[in-house]
Amino acid sequence: MKLVSTRNSSHIVSFREAVLDCIPPDGGLYVPASEEDLRPWVMYMDETTSFASIAGTLTSALLREEFSPVVCERIAGTAFAHSSPLLRQLDDRFYSLELYHGPTGCHKDFAFSWFASALEHLLVMEDREATVLAATGGVTGRSLAAAFSGKKRLKLVLAYAKGTLAGLDPESLAWNGGNIYPVEVEGDLKSAQELVRQIYSDPDLVSRFGLTLANTMNIGRLLPQVFFYMFAFTRLRKKVLGDIFYAVPSGNFGNLVAGLYAWKFSLPVNGFITDATAALSCDATGQCMCMDSIVPLANRGAADPASPSNLERLEQVFQVNPMILRGLVFPSEVSQSSIPDIIYSMYRKYGILLDSAAAAACGAIDAVSGRLNSDEGTVVLVSKDHPAFEADFLRKTCGVSPSIPDSLTGIRDKVTGAQSIPVSTGHLRTILENFSIRG
């Protein structure tokens, strides 16, 4: 797979280069340079094919120029040996794709696990090492730590806001012999993000400490999210004869862009429904529009390594023919005040509890139904995170609490032994100097 920057199509790199040096010098984001026809592989698989096998096959199809089929199977097998998404049928034409059945109940588990596995294999092949630095909160931090724990050639430095460091496995921590170094910044999450942003803005530091990113600015973190849609289709293709739509929570648009990449890779899909935001919404005629598109790329700031958005990737998908955007992406306004009613309605009707993000995507379904040009369409609702993270809110909303899986016990347990640092890049650089692995 060849990749190019969103801001310079002549800057072509390999997957290896894009993963290890994930920040394009022009300030853009790496994206696939061409469309891949994965239909022969996707149509060969069915509901009996495991998620690990699907991921291994598609990894080989996409990265065959850089990894052997055996290595691709090993990457996916290592990542997904004990976890898989779940497609749940709710009624004749409505399904829920649950992405919270990974080790920490977060949808990011799958992408982090594949990324860490792929990166570790790359590093072994090149006999080098790398460090990931990230500013994070509780849920994402636990997911990152679970994916990176025990990796021989990877180290992970996590910057938390003061008082929020909790839920990590003590055996994975550096002072107990592990490869994960969490630190608390004497400020809020934005302060921690600013420190990380300053570190990654210095190419000399990035090179010196062998740094790369594990958020969706790194295409290696985004690419495995394509597998979700391929997995769902293998479960649907013998049941559904008509159109297929996915209702995707907006977030930072990572799952939406991954779905669009699946479409570019020949996945049968008729559209994506999402809750509208200030950045992606509808014009006066009800058609999809991206507000950022009115600002030329040359006049924008560089992509943010600490808190990325994928809107620029979405724009790149449709830059050849903007009309396709209007026929494939369907955003709709969903008020925050309606979320409790949506959650309660879904619980009463189907007996399931949704997280707030999934509820927002669910609320967009009815609002856009008249714009889908399909009377027989099947809708798949993407549910990202385990409802246990919002247990108190769901108990107030529905009168019941979600069951708490064993993997989520201890998520609020405070981590002892962590260093607390002021909002200073000097202190963070010292930690990287003493802890990170340099090739």
pLDDT tens digits, 136-184: 988 999 999 999 999 999 999 999 999 999 999 999 999 999 999 999 9
268 belongs to a structural domain? no
Between 147 and 326, the higher pLDDT residue? 147
Check residue 376 and give its pLDDT: 72
Check residue 373 and give its pLDDT: 64
- Greatest mean pLDDT among 72-81, 280-289, 413-422: 72-81
| Stretch 47-76: mean pLDDT | 95
pLDDT band at 241 (very low <50, low <70, confident <90, very high): confident
161 belongs to a structural domain? yes
293 belongs to a structural domain? no
d(CA 31, CA 18): 9
Lowest mean pLDDT among 55-59, 100-104, 282-286: 282-286
4 belongs to a structural domain? no
**154-161 β-sheet, strand order:** 211-212, 130-135, 154-161, 180-185, 419-421
418 belongs to a structural domain? yes
Check residue 57 and give its pLDDT: 95
Average pLDDT value for the chain: 91
pLDDT band at 439 (very low <50, low <70, confident <90, very high): very low
Three-state secondary structure call for residue 424:
coil
61 belongs to a structural domain? no
Rounded to two decimals, the pTM is: 0.94
pLDDT band at 320 (very low <50, low <70, confident <90, very high): low
Q: Tell me the two tokens of residue 376.
A: 């027989």
Q: Tell me the two tokens of residue 47.
A: 């509901």
Count of domains observed in the chain: 1
* Strand ranges inside 240-385, DSSP E: 244-247, 271-275, 280-282, 288-290, 329-332, 378-383
Helices (H), 177-253: 189-200, 203-208, 219-222, 226-236
| Stretch 13-35: mean pLDDT | 93
Range(s) of the domain holding residue 209 = 108-219+412-435
3-state helix, strand, coil in the chain (%, to 5): 45, 20, 40
How far is residue 413 from each of residues 165, 169, 179, 234, 346, measured CA to CA in Å?
A: 9, 10, 20, 39, 32
180 belongs to a structural domain? yes
| Stretch 23-31: mean pLDDT | 93
d(CA 221, CA 199): 20
d(CA 75, CA 10): 30
Q: Are 211 and 157 spatial neighbours (Cβ–Cβ below 8 Å)?
A: no
385 belongs to a structural domain? no
Helices (H), 237-321: 254-264, 311-317
CATH number at residue 124: 3.40.50.1100
Q: Are 271 and 248 spatial neighbours (Cβ–Cβ below 8 Å)?
A: no
